[in-house]
Amino acid sequence: MVRQSVKSKSSKDLNHFKINPTIAGVIIIVLSILLFLALISYDRTDITTFSSLSDLFEGGKKHNLLGIVGANLARIFFEYTFGWCAIIFPAWFLYIGVQFYKHAEQNRFFKKDFVIYFQLAFIGALLLAMPESLRTLGHTVDYYPSGAIGGLAMDILVRMFGYTGAIAVFSSYVIALVLIYIPKSSYAVIFSKLKIDFTKFQRSQPLADYDGEVETEREVLLNDTDEEISDVSESEEFDSSLIKELGEEDESDQSEFQEVEIRQEEYDQPAEKTIREIQETIASSEEKTQVDELESIINAIEEVNNNKSQISTADTQPDKSETDHPSFSIEEEVHEKISSLDKAQKKLSKRERYNYPYVDILDDPVKSDHEISEEELWASARQLEEKLTDFKVEAKVVNVIAGPVITMFEIRPAIGVRVSKIESLMPDIALKMRARGIRFLG
């Protein structure tokens, strides 16, 4: 009995110190927001290491919104995870905090669907690391902005499979994820939509061709006015032949109506009046339509003749307005085309004026007489050591390699000096040594 009472008391004490899920959810949500602010304000120039309290309190200005704590926290996520794609972590922590706040079950914190987002972050890190890894053939020095996971994975792919093989493996990985996580029903919807768009394009294609033909006909009319006049005469002959054919068709139609009347008289005597009335109405309507067609053809011929006379008298009467002579619109369009041709010829003349360089630029450059001596190099090395001591960093220049553009200094730091501290001081050292830039190779 004594043991049972002791156990019950201990269990009550544990339940008493159990954290409330609502409070835990609020804390996790706040931490996720702070982590998000630290990540979006990350800057590589922030000093994240310090050897003494004076460096901590007298450090330079921090670009991070959360100060030195945010800089250190963001550096861990940036350099050792997915780089810029590490934004997935605050989103995941926010999701966990919301689930805690809702008193959800623990198995909902690690849903299978959330693995998709981590794979997307991994793909983004690989894409960020791909240019530098392909440029260095898998020997990347700095894993920014892809992070260590994306950079190392891409370096391994490039070293194992080469330039094209790495791209092929990466693309196959992306295609496999798309095929796994996208349902098959969506494929049917996509392909059906593409099919509908293709059919619409096919239907609109003849109309586009027709519009193109109309534009080409218009250009021909604008450029060749003499051919228009010859075509007008041919159209007159064609219209006269049409009038003759229409007259013959009228005679044949009348003969057909007469035959129909004779047959109706043989079969049905009482219905003669109604049949004749119907025939008269049909004949009158057809005659009206034929007369209208003939009038429209005659009007068209008269308009063509008027245009022909206006085109022939355009040179003799240049002072009249466009309303009196529509042919002036054709001449204006011709002048516009001539001006556009002049502009094109001017552009071509400008291109022709360009002088191409000689082949002498391919020769080796002439060696300059001014060469840096060893004394000057070691003097600059001593200056570099002095600048490092100004920043309370003890280091010694072991070797100096002079190049045509870049001079390389091999530095050996003293015991206890961190390399990251020297790396963070590179911009300040460049300003003091009046150099255009300094690159640190750890």
**Residue scoring higher pLDDT (127 or 182):** 127
d(C-alpha 289, C-alpha 285), whole Å: 6
**Residue scoring higher pLDDT (134 or 201):** 134
| pLDDT tier, 225 (very low <50, low <70, confident <90, very high otherwise) | very low
**What local confidence, expressed as pLDDT, does residue 411 receive?**
84
Q: Which CATH number fits domain 374-432: 3.40.640.10, 3.30.200.20, 3.40.718.10, 3.30.980.40?
A: 3.30.980.40
Which of the listed ranges 21-30, 58-67, 201-210, 351-360 does the model predict with the highest average pLDDT? Answer: 21-30
d(C-alpha 182, C-alpha 198), whole Å: 23
Region of poorest pLDDT, from 14-23, 59-68, 130-139, 162-171? 14-23
The residue type at 294: L
Cβ neighbours for 431, distance < 8 A, ≥ 6 positions apart: none
* Residue (of 295, 284, 293, 296) closest to 253 by Cα position: 284
**What local confidence, expressed as pLDDT, does residue 260 receive?**
46
Average pLDDT score over the chain: 70
The answer to whether residues 412 and 426 touch, using CB atoms and an 8 Å cutoff, is no
Instruction: Give residue-wise pLDDT tens across range 8-27.
Output: 544 444 444 467 878 888 89
Q: Given a cut of 60, is residue 272 above it in pLDDT? A: no
**Residue scoring higher pLDDT (302 or 153):** 153
**Residue scoring higher pLDDT (125 or 270):** 125
Indicate the SS3 state at residue 306.
helix
**What local confidence, expressed as pLDDT, does residue 208 receive?**
44
Q: Given a cut of 80, is residue 405 above it in pLDDT? A: no
Q: Given a cut of 80, is residue 227 above it in pLDDT? A: no
Give this prediction's pTM.
Answer: 0.37
**Considering the chain, what percentage of its residues have pLDDT values greater than 90?**
1
Would you list the domain boundaries of the chain?
Answer: 2-185, 235-310, 374-432
The residue type at 391: F
Instruction: Give residue-wise pLDDT tens across range 380-402.
Output: 888 888 888 888 888 888 888 87
d(C-alpha 380, C-alpha 369), whole Å: 21
Q: What share of the chain is helix, strand, coil (3-state, %, to 5)?
A: 70, 5, 25
